[in-house]
Amino acid sequence: MSPNDEYDSPWKQLLEWYFEAFMRFFFAAAHAEIDWQQPIEFLDKELQQIVRDAEIGRRYADVLAKVWLLDGKEEWILIHVEVQGSVEVRFDQRMYTYNYRLFDRYARSVASFAVLSDENINWRPGHYQMSRLGSTLTFSYATAKLIDYRAHWALLEANDNPFATVVMAHLKTLETKADPAERYNWKFSLIRRLYERGYTQQDVLNLFHFIDWVMRLPEALEYQLREEIVQMEAQQAKPYVTAFARIERQEGRQEGRQEGRQEGRQEGRQEGEIRLLLRLLNHRFGGAPEELLTRLQALPIEQIEPLVDVALAQETLADFIAQLPAPASSFPAVSQEPAEK
């Protein structure tokens, strides 16, 4: 399974980080009945008890939250994000099954909601009914279909809600399946929008992670995009550790854990950190002397990682070099002038 097929983790993270914004964006009527001054409690343990033996795979992201209503009553909310992108005949039945299992096990009424990411305009789940020998059971739940937002693109662009960005990234991912160059343009545009809309540093990183994960590009274009983002951040003089620095560190650690040998893990992480640092120095100060590479290669990974923050905090290359750990006597002195391009 490719990384962009694993929809559950980023969606689940966003749901928990921005639960109030999620309900406000997709389900405004329900949002208006909730007392958002009261704390939200996520009930992962309770949810897993009822889905543990069900057919739950990577296609789904489920969140069970306990909220308080404005009338003072406690309410449980089940959010189910269907992100497989295909029609499922028994979807309504599964939504009902989750609902009654929660009620049966915990004696709690549950409000159920579903987000649908498929491209079939005619598939509209939201209602389940059984009738036998004169007895009828009916279950309805609210849904939000992401492709419906195509007709409201201008409203998405004007909306500061984090899930406006999420929906735009999803829609452009669908539209650019066969056009990597166009996906590149939209990916950069959506990332740049994070800075232009005035999101906090943490919000930029959170939403960048989702965009980067869903809008996958060929390796060469990914590298080109990262170069362009570093330039953009340097030009805007944002006081952020670049989103790419954070993501590359996370990816490096994840890849390192998958490597077989500790030595290989360390070398891979070190090379990635040095490449990122040199790109940043190039964009900030116009380059870096060749002997600086030798100096950096001799440092352990624990000393290299903080240098991205150091580079962002300095006014000149000389100031950055002055902050480097002291070199061993066998290393050449580092010139404080960038090498000619």
67: nearest Cα among 59, 75, 56:
75
Whether 52 has a pLDDT exceeding 60, the answer reads yes
Answer yes or no: do 49 and 142 share one domain: yes
In a domain, 184, yes or no: no
Q: Which of 32-36, 169-173, 261-265 has the weakest average pLDDT?
A: 261-265
Range of the domain at 273: 221-341
In a domain, 216, yes or no: no
In a domain, 276, yes or no: yes
Q: Is 53 exposed, middle or buried (0-12, 13-18, 19+ CB in 10 A)?
A: exposed
Answer yes or no: do 265 and 137 share one domain: no
Answer yes or no: do 227 and 119 share one domain: no
Answer yes or no: do 140 and 9 share one domain: yes
Model pLDDT for residues 88-137, shown as the tens digit of each residue: 888 899 889 888 988 888 888 889 999 998 899 999 999 999 999 999 99
Model pLDDT for residues 177-187, shown as the tens digit of each residue: 999 999 999 99
Whether 214 has a pLDDT exceeding 60, the answer reads yes
Q: Which pLDDT band, with edges at 50, 70 and 90, does 4 fall under?
A: very low
Model pLDDT for residues 226-281, shown as the tens digit of each residue: 888 878 887 776 645 454 555 555 555 555 445 544 444 556 667 777 887 887 78
Decide which of 91, 121, 149 is a domain's last residue: 149
What is the number of structural domains in the chain? 2
Decide which of 134, 149, 164 is a domain's last residue: 149
Decide which of 130, 149, 168 is a domain's last residue: 149
Q: Which pLDDT band, with edges at 50, 70 and 90, does 82 fall under?
A: low
Q: How far, in Å, CA of 208 to CA of 232, rounded?
A: 14
Whether 77 has a pLDDT exceeding 60, the answer reads yes
In a domain, 81, yes or no: yes
Answer yes or no: do 106 and 226 share one domain: no
What value, to the nearest 5°, has the Cα angle with vertex 77 and ends 73 and 83?
A: 170
Amino acid found at 292: L
Answer yes or no: do 226 and 313 share one domain: yes
Q: Which pLDDT band, with edges at 50, 70 and 90, does 2 fall under?
A: very low
Q: Which pLDDT band, with edges at 50, 70 and 90, does 162 fall under?
A: very high
Q: How far, in Å, CA of 334 to CA of 6, rounded?
A: 45
Helix/strand/coil (H/E/C) assignment for every residue in the chain: CCHHHCCHHHHHHHHHHCHHHHHHHHCHHHHCCECCCCCCEECHHHHHHHHCCCCCCCCEEEEEEEEEECCCCEEEEEEEEECCCCCCCCHHHHHHHHHHHHHHHHCCCEEEEEEECCCCCCCCCCEEEEEECCEEEEEECEEEEHHHHHHHHHHHHHCCCHHHHHHHHHHHHHHCCCCHHHHHHHHHHHHHHHHHCCCCHHHHHHHHHHHHHHCCCCHHHHHHHHHHHHHHHHHHCCCCCCHHHHHHHHHHHHHHHHCCCHHHHHHHHHHHHHHHHHHHHHHHHCCCCHHHHHHHHCCCHHHHCCHHHHHHHCCCHHHHHHCCCCCCCCCCCCCCCCCCC
Answer yes or no: do 142 and 260 share one domain: no
